[in-house]
Amino acid sequence: MKRSVLLCLFLLSSFAIMADNQIASPDGNIVVTISTDNGSPHYRVAYKGQVVIAPSALGMVTNIGDYTMALVEKSFETKMVSDSYSLPNIKQSHVDYKANEAIVRYERGEKPAMDITFRVSNRDVAFRYTLHPRGETRVCVVEREVSNFALPDGTTTFLCPQSKPMGGFARTTPSYETSYTLDEPAGRNGWGEGYTFPCLFRRQEVLNGSKGSKGSKGNAEDLWILISETGTDGGYVGCRLVNEKGSTYSIGFPQKGEMNGVGEPTPAMALPASTPWRTITVGPLANIVETTVPFDLVEQKYKPSQEYIYGKGSWSWIIGMDPSCNFDEQKRYIDFSAAMGWQSVLIDAFWDQQIGYERMAELSRYAQQKGVGLFLWYNSNGTWNDAPQTPIGKLNNARIRREEMKWMKDNGIRGIKVDFFGGDKQPMMQLYEDILSDANDFGLMCIFHGCTLPRGWERMYPNYVASEAVLASENLHFGQGACDAEAKNGCIHPFIRNTVGSMDFGGSTLNKFYSADNKRGTVRRTSDVYALATAVLFQSAVQHFAMAPNNLTDAPTWAVEFMKQVPTTWDEVRFIDGYPGKYIILARHTGSKWFVVGINAEEQTLKKTITLPMFEKGTSLSVYSDDAQLNGSVKTVSQNKKQQITLTIPCNGGVVITND
């Protein structure tokens, strides 16, 4: 009797100090617990009973008050939310989104202070903060966010270091172009500046059975965790992940030195206002590859001014570099795109000097007669780096930008590729948004290079196409090391960079060498089938491939024919098998046409029997594969009764299976 009274008292007192609120995903697999501990909010996350995020801090410190402590929890409200949306330019053309939402409202002096909104769907946890005006005070500067992510001990990391500001080529960093480290223990901090989003983590063999337990069939699966953010616009800054200690990482703001030190790393907000969402995708690797969370949580910010044309195109610069951006060579590439049945040509830097505006208008007319649209390269720069490439000084000023865009509209230009941005401070995020919304006024699509990660932009900005934000194909031209590591990197991107946003990689080379005569320069190590596979593996609704006009005669006919047909927009993605940096097999389809593709970076030939339920027994399949010397070929097979097929992928090779 006495004991139970004591226990009751103990429970009551602990409730008084710490109120636990819980919210689960619709399928119950993910459980988020939100507690207010002596006025400080915390959260923790579990997936199928396994710890994903141990108790971690919430809140922010602003110049009008500290929202990490002395908060009074006023209410905890939950509801179901659902959304149904179609987006032609992401991994899945239609999404039925279902989640449970919880809003914890905090007060100070009996006035609303801060809300924390959580959304929990079957694959993802997301949260964001909403700050309210404080009396007559309606603006604030967020000095720091304390939001952190305490990962369980023993978690390993798959991360891309943030580069220091004003470094690299012509002082253009950070531009999300560094090499990943794979399966490293937690506790490091990249090059001292943390890591760019998204950040992938792994807990070894904790799902569906315990590690090493006797009698288990060894079917335990790793638990994966992908941390990122979405919904970032000119109302905030782009964030990164900084190691606090051990396996705990926290939200970091931009570095002070970005934009040549001009502007603050801290965001300013007009209240009431909400921050971008912090997202945590959890589960087996399929959840990581198939997540749509970057798009589920955002809204379209303006209507498209016209229907935008997605598709394939060619791009001379990757093989011919700056000198190729001349009238005759671009005309040859327009003819090449037309011969391939492709939709566009991307004309890179120095076109304003080497072709000029008048002859560009002539070139655009020529392209239009051939059913080809032109994308033109621009330097974003005002005052944030030394990159001399032109046109320059055209897009960083609204008056000049809109004049330039009017000229493009008048001359039938389809879109722009803007390069060399200056980091993630708020004025730079505003520049992205201003370029996008002005471009929409003039019917132009936007591709960004030397840039930040897109954060839900495919849905927010209907004329946004894709961003680089990765060590992309240019490095294959610049150095043999990148060619040697091409397959390894190709096996990373579908799990990390490309899963949260369209990636403008500019790959699928069929040249043997990265040079116009195809006889010298860096040597491609990957096979032709690998090139075909990555056309499906890397997702972007507009793809400018690294193929060249000579490939019409010097590349295998089956490869060229495949590249004419391959889609760039997809109804769905299904992860089949793989491991970051080692190999990947996935499937995409558009309508009833499926493409199952795989690539292998491991020294040992990959041999896998996979079940492909999307192909009925007896379906005629084209199988593109490599022999041990990486010579590709295509053969037709009929789907067997078990609906299984055995793949053999040598190192640096690929496989593609498609229904005829």
Q: Which helix (H) or strand (E) holds 77?
A: strand 72-86
Sort strands 445-448 and 464-467 into parallel, antiparallel or unpaired: parallel
User: CB-wise, 450 or 549, nearer to Ca ion?
Assistant: 450
Q: 3-state class of 573 per DSSP?
A: strand
Closest CA to 597 of 611, 610, 585, 580: 585
Name which of residues 263 to 302 contact Ca ion (CB under 5 A): none
User: CB-wise, 41 or 454, nearer to Ca ion?
Assistant: 454
User: CB-wise, 450 or 598, nearer to Ca ion?
Assistant: 450
Q: Which stretch binds Ca ion (CB under 5 A): 243-251, 273-281, 425-433, 449-457?
A: 449-457
User: CB-wise, 447 or 586, nearer to Ca ion?
Assistant: 447
User: CB-wise, 404 or 504, nearer to Ca ion?
Assistant: 504
Nearest distance from residue 468's CB to Ca ion, in Å?
A: 5
Q: Which stretch binds Ca ion (CB under 5 A): 70-78, 447-455, 618-626, 641-649?
A: 447-455
Nearest distance from residue 212's CB to Ca ion, in Å?
A: 44
User: CB-wise, 424 or 528, nearer to Ca ion?
Assistant: 424
Name which of residues 310 to 339 contact Ca ion (CB under 5 A): none
Give the chain's radius of gyration (CA, Å). 26
Closest CA to 529 of 642, 433, 650: 650
Q: Which stretch binds Ca ion (CB under 5 A): 123-131, 272-280, 442-450, 451-459?
A: 442-450
Nearest distance from residue 391's CB to Ca ion, in Å?
A: 17
User: CB-wise, 373 or 450, nearer to Ca ion?
Assistant: 450
Amino acid at 369: Q
User: CB-wise, 194 or 450, nearer to Ca ion?
Assistant: 450
Name which of residues 557 to 616 contact Ca ion (CB under 5 A): none
User: CB-wise, 471 or 657, nearer to Ca ion?
Assistant: 471
Burial 44-54 (b: 16+ CB within 10 A, else e): bbbbeeebbbb
Q: Which stretch binds Ca ion (CB under 5 A): 112-120, 227-235, 305-313, 450-458?
A: 450-458
Q: Which stretch binds Ca ion (CB under 5 A): 12-20, 145-153, 446-454, 458-466?
A: 446-454
Nearest distance from residue 450's CB to Ca ion, in Å?
A: 5
Nearest distance from residue 177's CB to Ca ion, in Å?
A: 6
Nearest distance from residue 36's CB to Ca ion, in Å?
A: 45
Q: Phi and psi dihedrals of 437, rounded to 5? A: -75, -35
Q: Which stretch binds Ca ion (CB under 5 A): 47-55, 235-243, 335-343, 445-453?
A: 445-453
Amino acid at 617: K
Q: Which residue is nearest to Ca ion (CB)?
A: 450
User: CB-wise, 254 or 450, nearer to Ca ion?
Assistant: 450
Closest CA to 625 of 645, 643, 604: 645
d(CA 148, CA 250): 4
d(CA 95, CA 238): 26
Burial of 169 (0-12, 13-18, 19+ CB in 10 A): middle
d(CA 276, CA 232): 5
Nearest distance from residue 492's CB to Ca ion, in Å?
A: 17
Q: Which stretch binds Ca ion (CB under 5 A): 183-191, 361-369, 443-451, 537-545?
A: 443-451
Nearest distance from residue 420's CB to Ca ion, in Å?
A: 8
CB atoms under 10 Å from CB of 381, counted, come to 25
Nearest distance from residue 474's CB to Ca ion, in Å?
A: 6
CA angle 218, 223, 229 (to 5 degrees): 165
Alpha-carbon distances of 295 from 329, 458, 519, 570, rounded to whole Å: 39, 7, 44, 15
Q: Which stretch binds Ca ion (CB under 5 A): 134-142, 438-446, 448-456, 571-579?
A: 448-456
Nearest distance from residue 516's CB to Ca ion, in Å?
A: 21
Q: Does 450 bind Ca ion (CB under 5 A)?
A: yes
Nearest distance from residue 372's CB to Ca ion, in Å?
A: 24
List of long-range contacts for 305-309, beta carbons under 8 Å, 24+ apart: 305/440, 305/441, 305/442, 305/443, 305/463, 306/443, 308/445, 308/462, 308/463, 309/343, 309/344, 309/373, 309/414
User: CB-wise, 235 or 422, nearer to Ca ion?
Assistant: 422
**Secondary structure E strands in 408-499:** 415-419, 445-448, 464-467
* Sequence-separated (6 or more) residues with CB below 8 Å from residue 142: 60, 61, 62, 266, 267, 268, 269, 275
* Cα first-last separation, the chain: 76
User: CB-wise, 423 or 450, nearer to Ca ion?
Assistant: 450
CA angle 554, 558, 559 (to 5 degrees): 65
Is the distance from CB of 608 to CB of 577 less than 8 angstroms? Answer: yes
User: CB-wise, 378 or 442, nearer to Ca ion?
Assistant: 378
Closest CA to 234 of 396, 398, 430, 422: 430
User: CB-wise, 66 or 322, nearer to Ca ion?
Assistant: 322
Q: Which helix (H) or strand (E) holds 363?
A: helix 357-369
User: CB-wise, 450 or 653, nearer to Ca ion?
Assistant: 450
Q: Which helix (H) or strand (E) holds 576?
A: strand 572-579
d(CA 603, CA 581): 12
Nearest distance from residue 275's CB to Ca ion, in Å?
A: 29
Nearest distance from residue 301's CB to Ca ion, in Å?
A: 26
Nearest distance from residue 506's CB to Ca ion, in Å?
A: 9
| Count of chain residues binding Ca ion (CB under 5 A) | 1
Q: Which stretch binds Ca ion (CB under 5 A): 92-100, 287-295, 387-395, 444-452?
A: 444-452
Nearest distance from residue 265's CB to Ca ion, in Å?
A: 23
d(CA 468, CA 455): 13
Binding positions for Ca ion, rule: CB under 5 A: 450
